[in-house]
Structure 1
Amino acid sequence: MAPAHLDVVCRPTNGKTPRKHWHESGWSRSLLTFRVLMYSLAIISLVLYTFCDSAFFPICYLPRFWLAGHCNGLAELLSPGVNSTTCPQWTALHPTKYRGLSEDLDVAYNSEDFKQRAIQALGDAVRVPTESYDDNGPVGEDSRWDTFAELHRVLEASFPRIYKSLNVTKVNTYGLIFHWQGSTSAKPYILTAHQDVVPVEEQTIEEWKHDPYSGYYDGTWIWGRGTCDDKGDLIRQLLAIDSLLKQGFSPARTLILSYGFDEESKGIEGAGHLARYLEETYGRDSFALLLDEGDLYTDTGGIVFATPSTSEKGYLDVKITVSTLGGHSSVPPSHTSIGLLSRFIAAVEDNPHQASLSRRGTPFATTQCLAAYDPAYPEDLRKLARKAVADDAALKVLQERLLASDPLYKAVLGTTQAVDLIEGGVKVNALPERANAVVNHRIAEHSSVAELQQHMIDLLTPLATKYDLALVAFGSNVTRGGAGEVVLSDFLGTALEPSPVTPTGYGPWALLQGSIKAAFESSPTRNSSKVVVVPSLSIGNTDTQFYWNLTKHIFRFSPSFDTDRFNGEHTVNEGKRCSVTLFSLLMQFPKLAFRADSMNEGVRFYTKFILNVDESDLP
């Protein structure tokens, strides 16, 4: 029997109560038949829900989603998690066809021998300083790329079984494609990571506790640049595949590993070429899903939140160049090019972009999940979040409250801008003929490059007119002027639209959820944790920007705790130890060093994920 507080009767979706004497009407038999069918479907759905063994087979999803659309009380009763329909949670997804294999590998991953092997493999990779620079020239012309050849030799020495069993293709010399052919025609899928790291500043080397490229293991931490970002993910993926090969596993679904080598700079030489190769080889929208580096786990005290990013903000660096006549500074004009530039900069900073919380956006989905599952979430915000699902006034108040509660929300809900570079003048007594500044923008999920460009034009046109300057904006003449010129341009040509938003219904998203939870349930140290999987927005950009044409299901997730990473990303003394709030975690990129124990747990996740995808009914 259903709990007394639940109304399990299906009602018309308009909420109206049927007339008292409905049986006297001419359509009574049709309505009665309809109700019988609805009750029958509800019962069948309940049976299927109860006895389905795996949470990702389509027949197992139908009961949940049909009920959610037709029955108020029963849908709540059967909904996942804590009866949250705004943030559905699927149960742990353990391999069924490969159950024995999965359990055997769980035992192997718990061993000290495997841990030491993982430590050695990551340390060896870290000891190769694969730095990528913003000013790198093309491959074949810039010798700084040559260090990646040494990393390839290290990887082949560490994983000879993979190099023998999988087809290895090198794209643009240093991009790596590992092709693991499946036995069926199901869509293949992609795991990605990147081989490069952020350069170490020479003047900071003495500040490192251990040499930044030592790969040193101190009994707890593996030290060195790239341990987390992103050689840790790369090595854990290879360890999982090597373990499966060792057990004789042969996939039904083709798996592609795609490893770029300039993610920390532009990505064009690495992932740019790799994605083009894959599209030419397999075709557009030819992959079931893609998993890349991304957000992490965090423990809020009893509940672990996993926060895969399902979208990324866009990107645009706007260069503002002001040109005026030069001359001797003893006879200056009212405003030099530097003075005029300062006014344009002030106008930009005085007019920040407005934040917006939209029900269609990823931040709204994140907020709903935190309100539903985080016990520490403020109760007033929890109530507002629930009301905001259908109440526009509540949505507006929720947006205001979130922005007031933490400045990080401004970065999530709107386009950000930061004046990061400025240049002008060559001599103290010479009028500067040219001055320029670069404004970095991270474009909101709901906006676009074109909208941002128009915002800059609308904002700066009045100033250009006021000071009699010709305005040329992104290749178009906007105003004329006789005192000089101001040019708005895309600095370095790196404009990037906000990414497509990955669907978070059943299918690939539920499979990822279930795999994350299965990895926890199988862990000897984490199996008591309650895990909630939350979609999040990445305010940074990854190599996934190049793969949009290949699949609609792109996830950015690194299976590590925030506390497994020491100090911070792109900084001195990279290692695994950093505690942050849940919300801060959703904003951060992966840090750069690993606690050794997290190597085993990451391999466990990748193994579950590979086996689950392989036996799934995804297209």
Structure 2
Amino acid sequence: MNLLLQVNMSSGHSSAPPKETSIGILAAAVSRLEQTQMPIIFGSGTLVTVLRQMADEFPFPVDKILSNPRLFEPLITRFMERNPLTNAIIRTTKALTIFEAGIKVNVIPSVAKATVNFRIHSGQTVQEVLELTKNIVADNRVQFHVMTAFDPLPISPYDDKALGYQLLRQTIQSVFPEVNITIPGTCLGNTDSRFFTNLTTGIYRFNPYYVQPEDLKSFHGVNEKISVQGYENQVKFIFELIQNADTDQEPVSHLHKL
């Protein structure tokens, strides 16, 4: 969801400013929004399955904790919310991306606007997030305008009968033999895959590329790049995925047809 927050106040000369201005009111509103995180949603989505499936990859006692995620939910979520990447898996995230106000140094602007980008957790809806946002801002002078929004897509099947998921797993093991396990996950980025919901319930977002911690800082930022080897692996993966899908023999019984 892209949400526009707007404050309309009287304009005037900066030599005699009012107690509050449109910029000040809006700045306080988005500050409250930044400082207040959305509620943790732990049991919805793929997270519990992911933790259990990857538990054996960790030494004791982490393996026991991940094997019993519901029992150790407070400990796991406390650890995950320390990192922005894993924090985005357990709750809806929000980011202030555009702030617009003022045109002249000695004029108090009558209008201040801010755009907030939300990535809605699969366990929430647009309406729920909008109501939470209004309660956090808690200022009737701030207007809310939904620019674009859509509810999270249904979770695609990832069991042994899901043909699409099994094709991905087969190809991953072929192209990346060093990978021990393949597990489902959550795609944090928005993609065009939502336009395929009228064709199938099996929609998988996967990028066959090793992402290093330093790579994350360059996404949509300075020096965004991909290594030559990473690019070659992507081409190889897509080629093999198409070949694996082009077969008369079905690898497993499944719910969906390509």
Which of the five TM-score ranges fits, normalised by the shorter chain?
0.7 to 0.9
Paired amino acid for 1:454: E
* Gapped regions of structure 2 (runs ≥ 5): none
For the 8 Å contact 2:161–2:252, the answer to whether it is kept is: no
For the 8 Å contact 2:101–2:113, the answer to whether it is kept is: yes
For the 8 Å contact 1:327–1:430, the answer to whether it is kept is: yes
Q: CA distance change for structure 1 residues 514 and 549 in 2, over 3 Å: closer, same or farther?
A: closer
Q: CA distance change for structure 1 residues 403 and 348 in 2, over 3 Å: closer, same or farther?
A: closer
1:381-396 paired onto structure 2 within 5 Å: 381-388=62-69, 392-396=70-74
Whether 2:167 is the aligned partner of 1:489: answer no
Match of 1:425 in 2: 102
For the 8 Å contact 2:92–2:120, the answer to whether it is kept is: yes
Query: How far has the Cα of 1:378 moved from its partner?
Result: 4.7
For the 8 Å contact 1:332–1:431, the answer to whether it is kept is: yes
Match of 2:123 in 1: 446
> Which among 591, 594, 597 is matched to residue 231 of structure 2?
594
Query: How far has the Cα of 1:598 moved from its partner?
Result: 5.2
Match of 2:193 in 1: 544
Distance (Å, rounded) in 1 between the aligned partners of 2:129 and 2:113: 19
2:145 is paired with a residue of what secondary structure?
A: strand
In the alignment of these two chains, the number of paired residues is 251
Paired amino acid for 2:110: E
> Which among 82, 87, 101 is matched to residue 410 of structure 1?
87
Q: CA distance change for structure 1 residues 545 and 600 in 2, over 3 Å: closer, same or farther?
A: closer
Q: CA distance change for structure 1 residues 431 and 380 in 2, over 3 Å: closer, same or farther?
A: same
Match of 1:437 in 2: 114
Match of 1:513 in 2: 166
Q: CA distance change for structure 1 residues 613 and 501 in 2, over 3 Å: closer, same or farther?
A: farther
Distance (Å, rounded) in 1 between the aligned partners of 2:62 and 2:30: 36
Higher relative contact order (CA 8 A, sep 6+): 2
Distance (Å, rounded) in 1 between the aligned partners of 2:211 and 2:104: 50
Distance (Å, rounded) in 2 between the aligned partners of 1:424 and 1:442: 25
Match of 2:152 in 1: 498
Percent identity over paired residues: 23
> Which among 552, 559, 575 is matched to residue 226 of structure 2?
575
For the 8 Å contact 1:353–1:414, the answer to whether it is kept is: yes
Q: CA distance change for structure 1 residues 530 and 455 in 2, over 3 Å: closer, same or farther?
A: closer
2:26 is paired with a residue of what secondary structure?
A: helix
2:81 is paired with a residue of what secondary structure?
A: helix
Match of 2:49 in 1: 365
Query: How far has the Cα of 1:601 moved from its partner?
Result: 4.7
Query: How far has the Cα of 1:519 moved from its partner?
Result: 6.8
Distance (Å, rounded) in 1 between the aligned partners of 2:102 and 2:211: 47
Q: CA distance change for structure 1 residues 397 and 609 in 2, over 3 Å: closer, same or farther?
A: same
Q: CA distance change for structure 1 residues 601 and 431 in 2, over 3 Å: closer, same or farther?
A: closer
Match of 1:609 in 2: 245
1:402-450 Cα offsets, whole Å, 9 max, x none, are 334x442211111111111111112222221111111111111211110
Query: How far has the Cα of 1:339 moved from its partner?
Result: 1.2
Whether 2:8 is the aligned partner of 1:323: answer yes
Whether 2:230 is the aligned partner of 1:553: answer no
Paired amino acid for 1:439: V
For the 8 Å contact 1:512–1:609, the answer to whether it is kept is: no
For the 8 Å contact 1:424–1:435, the answer to whether it is kept is: yes
Q: CA distance change for structure 1 residues 336 and 600 in 2, over 3 Å: closer, same or farther?
A: closer
1:21-32 paired onto structure 2 within 5 Å: none
Q: CA distance change for structure 1 residues 420 and 573 in 2, over 3 Å: closer, same or farther?
A: closer
For the 8 Å contact 2:3–2:148, the answer to whether it is kept is: no
Distance (Å, rounded) in 2 between the aligned partners of 1:355 and 1:613: 43
TM-score, normalized by length of structure 1?
A: 0.37
Distance (Å, rounded) in 1 between the aligned partners of 2:79 and 2:112: 40
Query: How far has the Cα of 1:455 moved from its partner?
Result: 0.8
Structural RMSD (CA): 3.0
Query: How far has the Cα of 1:606 moved from its partner?
Result: 2.1
Paired amino acid for 2:32: A
For the 8 Å contact 2:89–2:186, the answer to whether it is kept is: yes
1:229-288 Cα offsets, whole Å, 9 max, x none, are xxxxxxxxxxxxxxxxxxxxxxxxxxxxxxxxxxxxxxxxxxxxxxxxxxxxxxxxxxxx
Query: How far has the Cα of 1:357 moved from its partner?
Result: 1.7
Match of 2:34 in 1: 349
Larger Rg, first or second structure (1 or 2): 1
1:152-171 paired onto structure 2 within 5 Å: none
Distance (Å, rounded) in 1 between the aligned partners of 2:38 and 2:28: 18
Distance (Å, rounded) in 2 between the aligned partners of 1:333 and 1:546: 49
Distance (Å, rounded) in 1 between the aligned partners of 2:75 and 2:224: 42
* Gapped regions of structure 1 (runs ≥ 5): 1-315, 470-485, 579-592
Paired amino acid for 1:450: Q
Distance (Å, rounded) in 1 between the aligned partners of 2:211 and 2:74: 35
Whether 2:210 is the aligned partner of 1:562: answer yes
1:112-511 paired onto structure 2 within 5 Å: 316-358=1-43, 360-372=44-56, 374=57, 377-388=58-69, 392-404=70-82, 406-461=83-138, 463-464=139-140, 469=141, 486-490=142-146, 493-509=147-163
Query: How far has the Cα of 1:609 moved from its partner?
Result: 2.3
Q: CA distance change for structure 1 residues 600 and 459 in 2, over 3 Å: closer, same or farther?
A: closer
2:32 is paired with a residue of what secondary structure?
A: helix
Query: How far has the Cα of 1:350 moved from its partner?
Result: 2.2
Distance (Å, rounded) in 2 between the aligned partners of 1:497 and 1:537: 15
